[in-house]
Amino acid sequence: MLKLIHKILDDYKEDMKGVVESNLNDFNNVEQGISISRQYLQKLRICVRQNEFSNQQDEITFFKEHKPYIYSRLKFYAKLYNFLINRPAGTIKSQQEFIDAEIKKLQESNRRNIDFIKYYREQSTVLDEFYFLRGKDKISLVSDTSHFYTDAEFSTS
């Protein structure tokens, strides 16, 4: 299954080259980033449903590295699209106030998830089985419970 996953990731990187090198102030480019990312996330979902991981470490690697590679870019392009749509067309001051408010929202989100962000950035592994294996989540470790509403076959805490 790892070969299939790596093929999907390689194809994604190739298809995204045009978007990555484009003007991201252009809605069409951002929409293309969203579309391509959604398409490849769906390919990963199908791959995971139709195949089994060889071992727990492969599953952890998938949910810790491979899926987030595409998912994070989808979130980036979706947030950028939302930012471009909602950015006021008024004065520089009104635009700056809007940008400052958006930065505050991002900082608040980071603050709420600081323990996980630290764990991930430090490349820690001690809690991987709880964070990155399906069905092994430990509710006391999770500050954001929204994953309980998502696809259990394709999501971890």
Q: Quick check: is 57 in a domain?
A: yes
Widest CA span in the chain: 56
Q: Quick check: is 124 in a domain?
A: no
What the block records as the tokens of 146 is 């929204």
* Interval 78-102: pLDDT, tens: 999 999 999 998 899 999 999 999 9
Q: Quick check: is 50 in a domain?
A: yes
The pLDDT > 70 percentage for the chain reads: 89
Q: Quick check: is 33 in a domain?
A: yes
Sequence letter at residue 46: I
State the pLDDT confidence band at 29, using cuts at 50, 70 and 90.
Answer: very high
- With 0-12 CB in 10 A as exposed, 13-18 as middle and 19+ as buried, what is 119? middle
- With 0-12 CB in 10 A as exposed, 13-18 as middle and 19+ as buried, what is 89? exposed
Measured from the Cβ of residue 69, the count of other Cβ atoms closer than 10 Å reads: 14
Residues 113, 143: contact at Cβ < 8 Å? Answer: yes
Instruction: Tell how far CA 26 is from the center of its chain.
Output: 22
Q: Quick check: is 157 in a domain?
A: no
Give CA–CA dist 80/47, Å, rounded: 28
Look up the domain containing 35 and give its range.
2-86
What the block records as the tokens of 119 is 């764990």
Domains in the chain, number: 1
Can you tell me whether residue 120 is helix, strand or coil? helix
Q: Quick check: is 72 in a domain?
A: yes
* Interval 104-117: pLDDT, tens: 999 998 999 899 89
| Nearest residue to 47 (alpha-carbon basis) of 35, 28, 36, 62 | 62
* Interval 33-54: pLDDT, tens: 999 999 999 999 999 999 999 9
